[in-house]
């Protein structure tokens, strides 16, 4: 059997299971939906929580993006190192060294601290 | 690619369900204390959530919430697709390690959607905490996975298991296993890394979930924990290898051991805040993982 | 339906409680927590996950309203337990069993639900608006904030860029932050109904992201007179004979309670549970045959030594709690304020260890140094006064740790006095 068929079958079974849970809740729980405000320790909301959230660690995400792009190269590299030999190791670790230098720079600039 | 078998999806769902339930029972026993009947708590919780009134917060985006909640469970199960159950997984993909990584990264989106969709402060804070946590742990995690793949010279999980016939990877790449376990705990937002669902923000992402939403979310959380524990076995602990017993039994025993360890860690350590942890993951975990990678690369040459 | 009723009964046997305490209800809270721990019921963190709401003490108006709001947010099956007045032994257990009975009654729960489902979402309280007017004004785009009542009714009120308020609640407005940016602000009150939070404390915060920009302390008062943690010293001040051992026991229990709360906020479930178990043993364990009071105290002392060693040795905890709340006392105050969380942790561990050595001391109590300081000086009022300065500019997790590290006892706070302005 094709692997993808099996995976689709798995997805189907899982979806059916989750739908069964929701159906069971429809049958067993009291009808209707409770409209309840967000939990604010006993107060009513004064504004919606959906708002622009100040993510103070955004510099780390830029650093993460750089490394993540490099990861795209690392996965195939792991497969071919044994064949290509020393040059593969040297080149990849030189690349990683450069990136780590960037990380150290970011650390010294305080990008990893935001509290 | 080997022929996939039709019984494997059922086996996977059954195994993950059993592991998730076991983790929940163990957690219940730890929290309630010895001899306080905590073992039955997960079952009572399921019963309660099935009969609990459905709840909606003010102008919540129900589609996003349901997508996030279902997505968490979905990515956990999909990530387990490449893990061998005994001698074969559901789908032994040629790039199985990459698939595993890609699936569990989707959990970031699932959790954040849940936190955003309910339109409430504490889940929103929890969702952003998880993204911060993701950025912190993901790179050490990827390096640990690559180290295992490098040791086997292949990205197929079956080959990684086969390469450990002589010696488990845990023995000669222990740093990679340690980094993997730390990142596994962080990925499943469990234990010391439970910032997104922490008690100090009133339960975080799941603060406003009730009824079937909460049930699917909890199922997803425990399943994700079970999957990351189960993935440690083929990648670092030799898969089904072992004397006397059949492979599926060995896999189960090893998975249960790792899972029990993770659950116990979750009970016994304080929550780690990302503003303190970030420099550790970037400046200690990544270099350690890189050094381990170098050692393994030299050995493999 | 048969299955639904069976599931309801099955779930009702071990409900998940939220315990709300009013000031002067500490004794009831401790009895409740001991009973819940004995039964092994697992706490809920928010009303969506709870089915039992236990109110300890007699709340006054503000707290009653808060409890009412949380009660309406709790989905069915649900039960409310109100414990007030003088606790007779076994009364808590009876009330909890009663609640279990009500939770198991599927029919009445369904009737409860039928009366509430699909009701329109409640609008914000009109009297909760406009509280910021007294704080030097908000600087929102240069408009003065003399009137706060424009929020709830959905009219633009001169702020022409707003499109009205979806669901009757406005979108978040912007305000300056410490870096000069204009960021969305959320008004989030911490407390009074919050798990692991001092009873009756309300910290009205303005949150930008998860950083607290402004904080103001209010007290959600409770009716009553009892100051549980200070009781032995107050009795001694009145002239009654109180053995030192009793006072030491109360002090140790108070610190264990504070430790349990701090460890729980820090996320260390195991140590928090252990601390609370030790506290319950100290407070409520009755000596039985074969185990004298002295021996029981010695056992607690021994268990505590192991617990304290584990907590002190935890490098992860030390790393997380380091340099938090290092006090920036308000100008004009000469008294150094213990805002440092790690220092509080050490102090509690040390003092509890010392107090557990003195449990058998029968000599009369002479001083008035209670667990939080001199009992006649009401040190918690000082703590509430410096609290806003300590939490402003910190993120939510750190603020919760700071409050847990201060652990003010609102039984000591006099009701008519407004504790602080931000």
- In our burial notation (b when 16+ CB lie closer than 10 A, e otherwise), range B63-84 reads ebbbbbbbbbbbbbbbbbbbbb
- Which residues in chain B have their CB less than 8 angstroms from residue A67's CB? 139
Please state, for a pLDDT cut of 70, what percent of chain C lies above it: 82
* Angstrom distance (rounded) from CA C49 to CA B206: 8
C338 pLDDT band (50/70/90 cuts)?
A: low
Assign C373 to helix, strand or coil: strand
Q: Between C104 and C159, where is the model more confident?
A: C104
Tell which wins on pLDDT, C326 or C115. Answer: C115
Cross-strand partners of B71: none
Question: Which DSSP string corresponds to B94-131?
Answer: TTHHHHHHHHHHHHHHHHHHHHHHTT-HHHHHHHHHHH
CA C233 to chain centre: 24
**pLDDT at res. A115:** 54
User: For residue C365, what pLDDT is reported?
Assistant: 81
Which residues lie below 8 Å from residue C64, measured CB to CB, with a gap of 6+?
A: none
Is C39:C93 a contact under the CB 8 Å cutoff?
no
Q: How many CA atoms lie within 13 Å of C159's alpha carbon, on the beta-carbon side? A: 21
Mean model confidence pLDDT for chain C:
82
What integer pLDDT is reported at residue B218 of this predicted model? 95
For residue C420, is pLDDT > 90? no
Nearest to C210 among B55, B125, B207 (CB): B125
ipTM score for this prediction = 0.93
Q: Cβ–Cβ contacts within 10 Å for residue C291, how many?
A: 12
Whole-number pLDDT of residue B133:
93
Task: Tell me the mean pLDDT in the region C301-317.
Answer: 93
Measured in degrees and rounded to the nearest 5, phi and psi for residue B184 equal: -65, -45
Contact A42 C192 (CB under 8 A): yes
E strand map for B44-143: 54-56
Per-residue pLDDT of chain B (301 residues; tens, 9 = 90+): 456 677 888 899 999 999 999 999 999 999 988 888 888 899 999 999 999 999 999 888 999 999 999 999 999 999 999 999 877 888 888 899 999 999 989 999 999 999 999 999 999 999 999 999 999 999 999 999 999 999 998 899 999 999 988 888 999 999 999 999 999 999 999 989 999 999 999 989 999 999 999 999 999 999 999 999 999 999 999 888 888 888 889 999 999 999 999 999 999 999 999 888 998 999 999 999 999 999 999 988 8
Q: What is the 3-state secondary structure of C177-227?
A: CCCCCEEECEEEEECCCCCCCCCCEEEEEEEECCEEEEEEEEECCEECCCC
- Of C87, C79, C103, C70, the closest CA to residue C32 belongs to C87
Which chain A residues are within 8 Å of C211, Cβ to Cβ?
Answer: 54, 56
- ∠ CA B14-B19-B24, nearest 5°, is 125
Q: What's the pLDDT at C141?
A: 37
Handedness of CA A106, B113, A68, B192 (dihedral sign): positive
Position C155 scores a pLDDT of 43
C281 touches chain B (CB under 8 A): no
Give per-residue pLDDT as tens, C122-168: 555 444 443 333 333 333 333 333 343 334 444 444 444 456 777 78
Beta bridge partners of C189: C204
* Cross-chain Cβ contact B53/C117 below 8 Å: yes
Q: Is C20 helix (H, G, I), strand (E, B) or coil?
A: strand
CB contact under 8 A, A6 and B282: no
Give mean pLDDT, residues A72-85.
89
Q: For residue C127, what pLDDT is reported?
A: 42
* C18 bridge partner residues: C53
Chain C residue numbers with beta carbons less than 8 Å from the beta carbon of A54 are: 177, 181, 183-184, 208-209, 211
- β-pairing verdict for C222-223 and C369-370: unpaired
**Which among B166, B147, B149, B167 has a CA at the least distance from the CA of B158?**
B149
pLDDT range class, residue C339, cuts 50, 70, 90? low
Determine whether the interchain pair C166/B59 forms a contact, defined as Cβ–Cβ distance below 8 Å. Answer: yes
pLDDT tens digit sequence for C196-243: 999 999 999 999 988 999 999 999 888 888 899 999 999 988 888 888
Q: Which of B237-251, C58-72, C317-331 has the lowest mean pLDDT?
A: C317-331
Q: What confidence score (pLDDT) does residue B141 get?
A: 94
Interface contacts A/B by beta carbons within 8 Å? 197
Quick check: C66 and A52 CB within 8 A? no
Chains touching chain B, criterion 3+ CB pairs below 8 Å: A, C
- Contact yes or no for C265 and B55 at CB 8 A: no
| Chain C 88-127, residues with CB within 8 Å of chain A CB atoms | 109-110, 113-114, 116-125
Query: Are the beta carbons of B293 and B143 closer than 8 angstroms?
Result: yes
DSSP class per residue in C378-410: -HHHHHHHHHHHHHTTSBHHHHHHHHHHH---G
Q: H or E stretch including C245?
A: helix C244-265
Q: Give start and end residues of each alpha helix (H) in chain A.
A: 3-28, 58-84, 86-108
Supply the DSSP string of C340-360, one letter for each residue. Answer: -HHHHHHHHHHHHHHHHHTTT
- pLDDT at C156 (0 to 100): 42
A101's tokens? 């230098």
Per-residue model confidence (pLDDT) at position B214: 95
Nearest to C267 among B199, B202, B275 (CB): B199
Q: What is the pLDDT of residue C337?
A: 56
| Partner-chain contact B125 C320, CB within 8 Å | no
* Number of Cβ within a 10 Å radius of residue B291: 11
Q: Which of residues 284-343 of C touch B (CB under 8 A)?
A: 314, 316-317, 319-320
Residue C135 pLDDT: 37
**Residue B44: other Cβ atoms inside 10 A:** 20
The alpha carbon of residue B194 and the mean position of all alpha carbons in its chain are separated, in whole angstroms, by 12
- DSSP letters, C105-145, are -HHHHHHHHHTTTTPPPPPPPGGGSSGGGGTT---GGG---
How many Cα atoms sit within 13 Å of C358 on the Cβ side?
A: 19
Contacts with A55 from chain C: Cβ below 8 Å: 209
Residue C219, strand partner residues: C201
pLDDT band at C20 (very low <50, low <70, confident <90, very high): very high
User: Residue B123 CA to chain centroid, in angstroms?
Assistant: 20
pTM: 0.90
- Centroid of chain to Cα C360: 32
Q: Which residue has the higher pLDDT, B33 or A21?
A: A21
pLDDT confidence of residue C130:
38
Q: For C411, which DSSP code?
A: G
Q: What is the pLDDT of residue C419?
A: 42
Is C32 at the interface with chain B, CB within 8 A?
Answer: no
Nearest C-alpha in B relative to C189: B121
Instruction: Return the pLDDT at B248.
Output: 87
Measured CA to CA, the distance from residue B32 to residue B34 in angstroms comes to 7
Q: Looking at chain B from residue 147 to 186, which residues have their Cβ under 8 Å from any Cβ of chain C?
A: none
Which tokens belong to C389? 């300065």
Give me the residue from C39, C209, C267 closest to B270, CB to CB: C267
**Mean pLDDT, range C105-123, rounded to an integer:** 73
- What are the chain A neighbours of C119 within 8 Å (beta carbons)? 35
C181 pLDDT tier (thresholds 50, 70, 90): confident
- Which letter does DSSP use for residue C172 in this model? P
């Amino acid at each position: 059997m094709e692997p993808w068929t099996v995976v689709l079958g798995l997805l189907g079974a899982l979806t059916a299971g989750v739908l069964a849970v929701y159906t069971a809740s429809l049958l067993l729980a009291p009808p209707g939906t409770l409209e309840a405000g967000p939990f604010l320790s006993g107060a009513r909301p004064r504004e919606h929580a959906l708002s622009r959230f100040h993510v103070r660690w955004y510099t780390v995400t830029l650093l993460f993006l750089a490394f993540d792009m490099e990861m795209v190269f690392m996965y195939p590299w792991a497969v071919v190192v044994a064949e290509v030999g020393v040059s593969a190791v040297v080149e990849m670790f030189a690349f990683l060294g450069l990136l780590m230098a960037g990380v150290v720079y970011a650390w010294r600039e305080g990008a990893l601290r935001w509290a | 690619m080997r022929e996939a078998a039709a019984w494997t999806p059922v086996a996977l769902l059954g195994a993950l369900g059993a592991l998730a339930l076991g983790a929940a029972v163990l957690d219940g026993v730890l929290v309630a204390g010895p001899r306080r009947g905590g073992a039955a708590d997960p079952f009572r919780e399921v019963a309660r959530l099935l009969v609990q009134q459905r709840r909606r917060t003010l102008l919540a985006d129900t589609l996003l919430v349901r997508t996030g909640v279902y997505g968490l469970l979905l990515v956990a199960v999909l990530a387990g697709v490449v893990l061998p159950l005994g001698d074969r997984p559901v789908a032994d993909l040629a790039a199985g390690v990459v698939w595993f990584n890609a699936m569990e990264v989707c959990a970031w989106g699932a959790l954040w959607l849940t936190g955003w969709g309910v339109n409430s402060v504490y889940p929103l804070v929890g969702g952003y905490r998880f993204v911060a946590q993701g950025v912190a742990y993901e790179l050490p995690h990827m390096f640990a996975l690559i180290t295992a793949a490098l040791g086997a010279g292949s990205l197929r999980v079956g080959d990684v298991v086969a390469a450990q016939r002589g010696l488990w990877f845990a023995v000669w790449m222990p740093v990679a296993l340690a980094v993997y376990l730390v990142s596994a705990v962080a990925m499943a937002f469990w234990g010391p890394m439970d910032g997104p669902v922490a008690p100090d923000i009133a339960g975080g992402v799941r603060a406003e979930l009730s009824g079937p939403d909460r049930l699917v979310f909890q199922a997803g959380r425990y399943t994700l924990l079970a999957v990351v524990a189960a993935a440690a076995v083929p990648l670092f602990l030799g898969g089904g290898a072992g004397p006397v017993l059949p492979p599926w039994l060995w896999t189960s025993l090893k998975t249960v051991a790792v899972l029990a360890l993770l659950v116990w860690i979750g009970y016994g350590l304080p929550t780690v805040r990302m503003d303190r942890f970030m420099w550790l993951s970037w400046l200690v975990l990544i270099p350690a993982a890189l050094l381990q990678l170098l050692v393994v690369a030299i050995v493999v040459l | 339906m048969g299955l639904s009723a069976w599931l309801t009964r099955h779930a009702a046997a071990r409900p998940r409680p939220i315990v709300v305490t009013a000031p002067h209800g500490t004794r009831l809270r401790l009895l409740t927590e001991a009973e819940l721990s004995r039964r092994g019921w697992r706490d809920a963190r928010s009303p969506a996950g709870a089915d039992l709401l236990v109110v300890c003490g007699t709340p006054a108006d503000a707290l009653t309203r808060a409890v009412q709001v949380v009660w309406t947010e709790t989905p069915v099956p649900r039960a409310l337990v109100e414990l007030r007045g003088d606790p007779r032994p076994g009364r808590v257990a009876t009330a909890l069993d009663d609640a279990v009975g009500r939770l198991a009654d599927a029919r009445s729960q369904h009737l409860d639900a039928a009366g509430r489902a699909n009701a329109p979402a409640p609008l914000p309280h009109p009297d909760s608006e406009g509280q910021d007017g007294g704080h030097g004004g908000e600087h929102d785009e240069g408009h003065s904030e003399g009137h706060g009542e424009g929020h709830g009714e959905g009219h633009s009120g001169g702020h022409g860029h707003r499109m009205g308020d979806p669901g009757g609640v406005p979108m978040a407005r912007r305000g300056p932050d410490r870096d000069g940016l204009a960021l969305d602000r959320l008004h989030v009150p911490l407390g009074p109904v919050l798990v692991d939070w001092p009873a009756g404390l309300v910290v009205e915060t303005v949150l930008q992201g998860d950083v607290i920009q402004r904080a103001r302390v209010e007290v959600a008062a409770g009716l009553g007179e009892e100051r549980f943690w200070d009781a032995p010293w107050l009795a001694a001040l009145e002239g009654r004979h109180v053995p030192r051992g009793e006072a030491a026991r109360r002090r140790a229990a108070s610190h264990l309670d504070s430790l349990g709360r701090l460890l729980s906020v820090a996320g260390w479930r195991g140590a928090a549970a252990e601390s609370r178990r030790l506290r319950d043993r100290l407070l409520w364990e009755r000596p039985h045959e074969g185990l004298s009071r002295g021996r029981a105290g010695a056992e607690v002392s021994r268990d505590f030594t192991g617990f304290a060693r584990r907590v002190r040795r935890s490098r992860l905890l030390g790393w997380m709690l380091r340099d938090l709340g290092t006090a920036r006392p308000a100008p004009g105050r000469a008294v150094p304020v213990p805002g440092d969380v790690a220092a509080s942790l050490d102090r509690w561990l040390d003092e509890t260890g010392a107090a557990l050595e003195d449990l058998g001391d029968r000599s009369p109590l002479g001083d008035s140094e209670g667990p939080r300081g001199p009992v006649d000086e009401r040190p918690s009022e000082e703590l509430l006064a410096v609290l806003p300065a300590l939490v402003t500019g910190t993120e939510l997790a750190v603020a919760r740790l700071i409050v847990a590290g201060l652990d003010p006892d609102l039984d000591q706070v006099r009701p008519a006095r407004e504790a602080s302005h931000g």
